[in-house]
Amino acid sequence: MLTPPAPGRLDVGVLLDRVQVRAPIEAVEAAAEALAEMLDARELTFLIADFSGRAVVRLTTGAAGAEGARTQAGSKAASLPLHGTVYERVLRTQQVDVHALEDGARLIVPVTDRGDAIGLLELVLPTSPVPTLIADAAAAAHALAYVVIAARRYTDVFEWGQRTTPFSLAAEIQRRLLPSSYTCEAGQFTLAGWLEPAASVGGDTFDYTLNRDSLHVSITDAVGHEIEAALLATLLVGGLRNARRQGLDLDAQARYANDALAENAPAGQFVTGQLMRVNLSTQRAAIVNAGHPFPLRLRGGRVEEIQLDIEPPFGVVPGKSFQPQRFSLEAGDRIIFLTDGMQERNAASLDVAAALAATADLHPREVVHELGAAILHATGGHLRDDATMVCLDWYGGPPRRRESENGADADLASPVRPPAA
């Protein structure tokens, strides 16, 4: 039997041992039990962020749940709206909240990895916490993020819990095309994406990947709606990923994906999109624009549309060669890539440029959420087409190395901008 460390002392080794001996579906519960012992917490619960971005979900076990909770196969999920709550504030600021109680304190701690806000850890302590205990709670929440990331590979429980409304088949397909994390903080840049789905799925996707020397970003919009659009998007994203993983250059990736559509999709079907590659060593970027809305750039307090040469959408001209264009990046730039759902007719009251300027001080994760909420407000919640956006904050600075806190070398880009409070 494992011997727990003294209360108030975090031991990640013990935590992982507790998790490994339990089934994946019980991983978070096992982690919570171990953390409660280590932090001497009377209560400890995990709340996962809902896919809507407007709620958190308390996942527990048992056949019966609280009023309004959803149940499935012994699990129950109770949704808690975020608006105006301490949960919203902690997710936004990424700062631990400490609230004094008559017999102790309640802590709410962000569970986050590389800017991806996975959820919250809520715990009740028997005494007012000292700074070292608050630091332990923050470290515990970070460790819990890794437990969730690993456990969700083996079970649908987390995915089910995050869905407050059922997905259509088209939405299920579309969901599989998106990156597993919508946010990435990586020293030289921070990137965040978001998709506000229409009632009738419109085939939007975004994607990114970070290699040792490059960042690849894409945003695409398939013609049509529902299954037709979702399958078309699947062909395009599959083609892009396959070409990228073969190590092809940007123009070759675009040509490969274009031919995949032309050869396998029905005549007349196409996908608009933009593909960008940033060389992290030279800090130079190139972009392919296949009939897609122009990006926006916030630089020096001014928002402007980035004019690009327009080439035909993917799938229109078999065998076409695409010409990557130079894409200017300067330290401090904020770039927004978006689909035409952000500019649809019933969203005419939304000034995207003004909304971008108004969110200049927010973290990219917050920016895409704010823009998503703005488009919903402008359309009265009735989107006729998917509205998708990717926000890239470029900090620049050549990659360098520093000594990490444990003495080992760690990759880092300078300067590093901390998340906005």
| Domain CATH for 106 | 3.30.450.40
Q: Where are the beta strands (DSSP E) in 162-245?
A: 183-185, 189-196, 204-210, 214-222
Cβ-in-10-Å burial (0-12, 13-18, 19+) of 320 comes to middle
Least-confidence region, from 60-74, 81-95, 234-248, 259-273: 60-74
51 lies in the same domain as 108: yes
186 lies in the same domain as 124: no
Per-residue pLDDT reduced to its tens digit, 165-224: 788 999 999 999 999 999 999 999 999 999 988 877 889 999 999 999 999 999 999 999
Encoded amino acid at 318, one letter: P
Q: How many CB atoms lie within 10 A of CB 124?
A: 17
pLDDT, residue 69, reads: 65
Tell me which of 270 and 411 has the higher pLDDT: 270
Q: Check pLDDT > 50 for residue 2.
A: no
200 lies in the same domain as 154: no
Q: At what angle do helices 226-245 and 169-176 cross, to 10 degrees?
A: 10
Q: Check pLDDT > 70 for residue 338.
A: yes
pLDDT, residue 344, reads: 66
* Residue 6 belongs to a domain: no
Q: Check pLDDT > 80 for residue 127.
A: yes
- The sign of the CA dihedral 354, 357, 362, 368 is positive
346 lies in the same domain as 373: yes
Last residue in a domain, options 161, 193, 215: 161
Q: Check pLDDT > 70 for residue 47.
A: yes
230 lies in the same domain as 113: no
Residues 33, 61: Cα–Cα separation, whole Å: 13
* Residue 419 belongs to a domain: no
Q: How many CB atoms lie within 10 A of CB 299?
A: 15
Q: Check pLDDT > 80 for residue 6.
A: no
Q: Check pLDDT > 70 for residue 152.
A: yes
pLDDT, residue 314, reads: 98
Residue 368 — pLDDT band, cuts 50, 70, 90? Answer: very high
pLDDT, residue 342, reads: 80
Q: Check pLDDT > 60 for residue 258.
A: yes
In percent, the amount of the chain with pLDDT more than 90 equals 59
346-370 mean pLDDT = 84
78 lies in the same domain as 207: no
- Cut 0.95: pTM above it: no
Q: Check pLDDT > 60 for residue 67.
A: no
Query: Could you give the number of structural domains in the chain?
Result: 2
Cβ-in-10-Å burial (0-12, 13-18, 19+) of 64 comes to exposed
* Residue 289 belongs to a domain: yes
Chain centroid, CA 136 distance in Å: 25
Per-residue pLDDT reduced to its tens digit, 74-105: 577 788 999 899 999 999 999 999 999 999 99
At 353, phi and psi to the nearest 5? -60, -45
123 lies in the same domain as 239: no
156 lies in the same domain as 178: no
96 lies in the same domain as 41: yes
pLDDT, residue 89, reads: 94
Last residue in a domain, options 126, 143, 161: 161
Residue 337 — pLDDT band, cuts 50, 70, 90? Answer: very high
Least-confidence region, from 113-127, 280-294, 365-379: 365-379
Cα distances from 254 to residues 127, 218, 241, 264, in angstroms, run 59, 11, 10, 16
Which residue range forms the structural domain that includes residue 37?
Answer: 12-161
* Residue 4 belongs to a domain: no
pLDDT, residue 333, reads: 96
pLDDT, residue 72, reads: 66
pLDDT, residue 74, reads: 59
Residue 394 — pLDDT band, cuts 50, 70, 90? Answer: very high
114 lies in the same domain as 235: no
151-178 mean pLDDT = 89
Last residue in a domain, options 126, 161, 196: 161
Residues 144, 47: Cα–Cα separation, whole Å: 11
In percent, the amount of the chain with pLDDT more than 70 equals 87
pLDDT, residue 418, reads: 35
> What DSSP character marks residue 171?
H
301 contact partners, CB below 8 Å, separation of at least 6: 357, 360
* Residue 87, both tokens: 């949960």
Place of tokens 């429980």: 157
Residues 90, 279: Cα–Cα separation, whole Å: 34
Q: Check pLDDT > 60 for residue 68.
A: no
pLDDT, residue 165, reads: 79
* Residue 88 belongs to a domain: yes
* Residue 3 belongs to a domain: no
At 231, phi and psi to the nearest 5? -70, -35
Tell me which of 288 and 39 has the higher pLDDT: 288
Average pLDDT, the chain: 86
Residues 121, 111: Cα–Cα separation, whole Å: 6
Tell me which of 189 and 65 has the higher pLDDT: 189
393-403 mean pLDDT = 69
CATH of the domain at 370: 3.60.40.10
Residue 401 — pLDDT band, cuts 50, 70, 90? Answer: very low
Residues 265, 93: Cα–Cα separation, whole Å: 45
Q: Which residues of 160-193 are buried (b: 16+ CB within 10 A; e: fewer)?
A: ebbbeeeebebbebbbebbeebbbbbbbbbbbbb
311 lies in the same domain as 368: yes
SS3 283: coil
* Residue 278 belongs to a domain: yes
* Residue 420 belongs to a domain: no
- Smallest Cα–Cα separation from 313: which of 241, 208, 216, 221? 221
155 lies in the same domain as 183: no
